[in-house]
Chains A and B, each alone.
Chain A
């Protein structure tokens, strides 16, 4: 198992498989709690790469099928938007 130690699961926030396993062992038995503890899924990609992997890991730990693990909510605006752009939008409407 040693060689698995540094597998990075969430690239936005630099979260490794070991950190995720520890978090699950500490009682986080759903993706929302894992996300909130470790910030994985809160970066610019909103969990597109990491969540499916974490979901699989959690399902394995809990001994349930992947479909039983609910995916966390994605938050708007989904695309990283510059404040200036939002302001231009406001002015454009007037």
Chain B
């Protein structure tokens, strides 16, 4: 391991790996990633990897659209097949209030050339013929939404970063951040100390603990979310189907298996054990929307952490109270889909360049000033 670096990134998930890659691409040398376990051991390797652009706020539409533009070319850019597919996202509306909200969202999405539209139940059936039509009254659909393979995306960024000279230290834990006279001077790990003046908190579920090492208090917390995968079957439909009301999402991946998840009431914790309760609840809710699922067989289930903030929007940028301490954390259930663009913007900020998307509302100070970001379309 190096004994000094320009930038030390804590966390080797999609955010840490992509930030390292974009930073190196901007010509920054001597970048180190610290990952306390294997790459993709955190939320990235446990996630549904859905990529949706159907958001209700300008900034989120911009970040999501910019990520899709990146995803569309990532295979060529990183020379790695990340199994990115654009089968669309079908968002179910269960009542008139939701339809009205979705119409407002669509007008924001249109500003950024996101090709989403409101569709009838009949049109929804053309996209996914197996939906129970008694369960929704309309939907929105965006054909360029989709999903990728999260492990491969994580490795694609990490490998590309390492080709650009980034040092990736797996099984290496950041333990302490050294600060002298209000400036960062180094990071203590279980494998030795690295001198540096810039640290990036990309620690996912452990973001609050890492911020605390820098003396910064952020209100992020981790919450267990569970997911399962079925045996592969013949292709049924291409789109992701989601409902904000039920908190459910499901999609058939190229391999033929369905993945699906649902939000449950959870206390904040680092628990990532799978539960039988989830299996029953998940299956019970899924077959109500998609009765054909009765014939599916579950092969594996697992859990991961959403790293959440009080407004379910991330904290991104340099800490006002500690120059050189950058963060991209608290992504809730959407850090994969906006990961590429957010990491790129963060890299621009670290390199001292003007960020291509203004993410200043994502400051952690908003939790003190009360300027919360109220996004209507978030999976909680």
Interface residues of A (CB under 8 A from B): 26-30, 32-33, 36-37, 39, 42-44, 46, 75-77, 80-84, 86-87, 89-90
Contacts and interface: CB of A to CB of B under 8 A. Distances in A.
Given A86-B283, A87-B284, A90-B284, A81 B38 contact: no
B379 interface: no
Nearest to B158: A27
B41 A84 contact: no
Contacts of B284: 87, 90
Given A44-B299, A76-B274, A76-B301, A90 B293 contact: no
14 contacts: A26-B159, A27-B159, A30-B170, A33-B151, A36-B40, A37-B151, A42-B229, A75-B301, A77-B300, A82-B294, A83-B286, A83-B296, A84-B295, A86-B280
B299 A80 contact: yes
Nearest to A27: B159
A82 to B, nearest CB: 5
B132 to A, nearest CB: 15
Contacts of A33: 38-40, 151, 155
B309 to A, nearest CB: 28
Nearest to A43: B299
B69 interface: no
Interface in B285-323: 286-287, 293-302
Interface of B: 38-41, 45, 151-152, 155, 158-159, 162, 170, 229, 231, 255, 274, 276, 279-280, 283-284, 286-287, 293-302
A28 B162 CA distance: 13
A29 B38 CA distance: 9
Nearest to A86: B283
Given A33-B40, A37-B152, A43-B299, A83 B231 contact: no
B45 to A, nearest CB: 6
B279 A86 contact: yes
A36 B162 CA distance: 19
Contacts of B276: 76
A30 B38 contact: yes
A33 B294 CA distance: 32
Contact of B231 (A30, A32, A77, A80): A80
Contacts of A46: 300
